[in-house]
Structure 1
């Protein structure tokens, strides 16, 4: 693969890609060696007291679309190139990903000194009739500890009309307790949904629904000592984020056609006292102009400014 005329679009060299494919096919033990050899970060938070992660667990749930491209995240070479470029920014503290992507980034040498949060429940496939049944199909607490990761992330979609929500609540509660017992971060993403009579699902972003979701997620498990919450930006972030004392990160979510408005929305949420950082995936990896480096830099600036630093 050669670089395109637009140098802003990230790419992996032929040597990087072919080396990765060869390792995958001929040396499976390289993965465990890479986990063991990874240089871990000195702490979860940066020196500024914030955390900025890039999310890359969407493909594990079959959610491949970004913008107008239904297959954007299906091109693994392109996805990895975008992740490597994002992780090269000094303000990006790490990644949130499923085992396959984390391992590929390890083999590419992109996770040295970075925070790694392993994605745990990916069973609620995008578009499936059982999409709200968010079963655990990825990392578990024991493997997160064995692999030397900093914590685990779980999706908690809450639909009062779907009985499978109860199973997800139980699964997340068990995972929170297991991670806490190992001294590891449990990053819970509670998202309230409403299913219409026609079967369509809609994320609820009103203040009462989001505040309720926060209070439910805060109480999961045998202890909340190691629990973090991953929440979307909203119209009234003060009221929503005042619903907990737990540390929170702002979820970037599905990118809108107007990146400037995304950044503005994140900035308002990032100023809340309980909010410690930002976790963004597709909005940064697949910006409309293809310029991943600039998109990441803009988000990093928003985070810095929200925590009292002057723009660089």
Structure 2
């Protein structure tokens, strides 16, 4: 059971307040204030971990986000003289904040130094405001940047995770790959990226729930995890396959909607091909993680379901089967 300390609860509230202020504001200055409130709330959350590398990750995160915020401020006076250059700087700053390629260099190292719950926050909640800003800033110049960043994110996310043995780095490169799909959804319409982001958040939470409850940080730990429990094996397999977009699981639906928009709008086939090929690459290292725990797990360990925390972590992963019950409803609603 997750119990927040008083200071963690306070900073979590201000973090959400910063997101709400930024998303609901009609002024760029108020939006920037919301971004800064969100940043200054997340830094203490990162440093509150007992991990000795958390301070280093917090410093890296602060420097990168400060650079992004400074770039946003620098673009304000340029918007009156050279508007296209201002849009280019703002788009680049937002891509830097979300860790999309080619500005992804900080994302895996920061993920490696923080806990699983903080990683989940970094992969999901911290991306809401920059993505919402990109969605409202779709011009000709920014759209070209988003396309280039989406293609490069798909390549980096697919190839970067192949040679990794640390689970947090694997999930971080997975997040970069999903960022490519999110940028594609942003370029189409707001409703599409909201659907994709909501699905991605739920699926990521299901994966993190298993990895956090079993404290898995290295690939080898999957071989010695308490996996005599068949429901735990199945939950991990379903979560990873859903994260890779395998039909008919939950992760397949938003990707199918993005592909449908590509076909209807007749957008660049090279862009779509890079997304599909990278999805196959990510699915490969998801399967490598899942099969390691399924086939090579040690038979000498006790069942992990004896721990109530592990038992509760199985509820969320099986939500990935929900599209089997209502796929037509989601498609009609969309």
User: How high is the TM-score relative to the length of structure 2?
Assistant: 0.27
**Higher strand fraction: Structure 1 or Structure 2?**
1
TM-score (norm 1): 0.29
* Structure with higher helix content: 2
